[in-house]
Amino acid sequence: MKIILSPSLLSCDFLHIHKDLLELNKKNIKYLHLDVMDGHFVNNISFGIPVISAISKIKEDLNFKLDTHLMISNPRKYLQNFIDAGSDMLSVHVEADDDVSECLKYIKSKNVEAGVVINPETEASKVFPYLKSCDFVLIMSVHPGFGGQKFITDVYDKIEKIYNKSCEEGINNIKICVDGGVNLENAYEVLKKGANYLVAGSSVFKGNISDNIDAFYDIISKYEGDNK
Ligand code: DX5
Ligand code: ZN
């Protein structure tokens, strides 16, 4: 599977979202990670449906797929709203207070990629039952709620466990996404453990976006070269 870099919009310049999106498009970015927080499931409030709908209006022109990460209580109740807003990928936490299987089934029935998210302290085995019924697993490598945190290195093991389990089950088209604290120092190792989708917020938007993306692409090319 081709390795994907998905910038997390949480770290963009909110006064100039459009300008930042154009910059991502110039660098051939195809996926945007959108962190939705409700101040209840996590201790922070970010943005929601109106912002995603607005971005969705230009997503085809800019060739973006919208990857919406729901850090909200009762996600089931809002799935259709986030699908209507233009999400192409939609994920719910295993820790959420809803029936995860039912959420995945619903998302898929609407032709949207369905994902399951797992927090750093949750055992890898908690996502195993969903591997066959989801399109992607989003492995949190920070405690959800804020951008700019430090990568929790214990999560390397979990990436490997989830990757190995999906191989064991003969699933080879699943996106294994890692989210939180991913940067130029740890990206290679994250890929080596089995991830094929890197979410990166501050390490893309802090400083020069174009240079940061080039540096990520260099690491991805090196990894691909080393693992031909
Ligand atoms: C954390 C979010 C992440 C975050 C990533 O709750 O899910 O997507 O924005 O940002 P960085 O890369 O800065 O950790
Ligand atoms: Zn996220």
* pLDDT tens, the chain, 228 aa long: 899 999 999 999 999 999 999 999 999 999 999 999 999 999 999 999 999 999 999 999 999 999 999 999 999 999 999 999 999 999 999 999 899 999 999 999 999 999 999 999 999 999 999 999 999 999 999 999 999 999 999 999 999 999 999 999 999 999 999 999 999 999 999 999 999 999 999 999 999 999 999 999 999 999 999 998
Kindly list the catalytic residues: 35, 179
**CA-closest residue to ligand 1 atom 6:** 144
Quickly count helices (H) and strands (E) in the chain: 8, 8
What local confidence, expressed as pLDDT, does residue 168 receive?
A: 98
- What is the Å distance from ligand 2's center to 33 Cα? 6
Q: What are the pocket residues of ligand 1 if the criterion is a CB atom closer than 6 Å to any ligand atom?
A: 8, 10-11, 33, 35, 69, 142, 144-149, 179-182, 199-203
Which protein residues have a CB closer than 5 Å to ligand 2 (ion)? 35, 69, 179
Atom 3 of ligand 1, nearest CA residue: 180
The pLDDT assigned to 194 comes to 98
The count of C-alpha atoms lying within 13 angstroms of the C-alpha of 61, restricted to the half-sphere facing its C-beta, is: 8
| pLDDT attached to residue 211 | 98
Determine the pLDDT at residue 228: 86
Query: What integer pLDDT is reported at residue 55 of this predicted model?
Result: 98
d(CA 125, CA 164) in angstroms, rounded, equals 12
Q: 205: closest CA among 71, 72, 12?
A: 12
Pocket test for ligand 1, best of 36, 149, 197 (most atoms within 8 A of CB): 149
DSSP state letter for 143: -
Answer for the pair 192, 219: CB distance below 8 angstroms, yes or no.
Answer: no
CA atoms in the 13 A half-sphere facing the CB of 208: 4
Say which ligand is closest to the CA of 42: 1
pLDDT at 44: 98
Task: Kindly report the pTM of this predicted structure.
Answer: 0.98
Q: Whose CA is nearest to atom 4 of ligand 1?
A: 147
Ligand 2: centre distance to CA 9 (Å): 9
Phi, psi of 13 (to 5 degrees): -90, 100
Atom of ligand 1 nearest to the CA of 33: 8
Number of residues in the chain:
228
Torsion angles phi and psi, residue 5, rounded to 5: -110, 120
pLDDT at 71: 98
pLDDT at position 1: 86
- The encoded tokens of residue 159 equal 């990436």
